[in-house]
Structure 1
Amino acid sequence: MYELKTKENDNDVMEFIEQVESERKRADAYQLLDLFTETTGFKAKMWGSSIIGFGSYHYKYASGHEGDAPLVGFSPRKAKISLYFATGDSEREQLLKDFGKHTTGKACVYINKVADIDVNVLKALITQSVRFLKKHYSDQ
């Protein structure tokens, strides 16, 4: 059976951020920590070794695969900062049009630095993602 690698744990979020090599990325991580905490109302928790997540939800796919994931989160990675929002939400795509400089992957939105984006749109993305996931996974 498949074992999830990215699980919520008790690792220290501040300690993790302090280990970020780039001073700019470390400052951005603290700014994102404040923005995500303020917007969600959830305490930051480490997920796996490098994702800072807020809140959680339980998912179960038709295939039988299930697990837990953060509602939203971020990771100050070496190349770019990864932002984690709900996938499959058309409102996310609309909001991203006014977000600022970013790229997207299947599940992530990537930014170079917080100064490249509209912080108000970030707050809207966070709020929308939490709303979308709670609506779609509240009955599981």
Structure 2
Amino acid sequence: MTNDASARAEMSFAKRYNLFFWFRHAALLLWAIMIMFPIFWMISTSFKDSGDWVAWPPNWFPSFVGGGYEPTLHNYRQIFSIVGHGEGLSREYAEQAFTIWGAVRDSMVVSSISALIALLLGTFLAYSISRFNVGGKYFRYMILTIRMV
């Protein structure tokens, strides 16, 4: 009798585990779709003409996959040549042409300087925490946890 009860308990555990396995994978798949959809949307929109950006119902896929828009590289050509033709800008800004490479250079300078400052400050802070018993036993882990958040 005990063998029968243990077999039933083991079987119900296996069924519960199998149900949990499928539920977990379905939830992870749903989460991955929710995370990846905005990236897919941006990439899809980047190959559309400006009239197709706000089309209703939206066309997610290009025509060669069965969708409703003809893909184009016009947006990429426009970005990498000249940005800011003056549409919607005041006259003073409309006369200036900004290249994407100037913006990339500025972004690289700002990110390099901020990374260098963070590295220098982090190095000095890590040295002082490792050498001296500062803040108690769990202070290092607390700082690491706060840094990750």
User: What is the TM-score normalised by the length of structure 1?
Assistant: 0.24
Q: Which has the higher helix share?
A: 2
**Could you say which structure has the larger radius of gyration?**
2
User: What is the TM-score normalised by the length of structure 2?
Assistant: 0.23
Larger relative CO (CA 8 A, sep 6+): 1 or 2?
A: 1
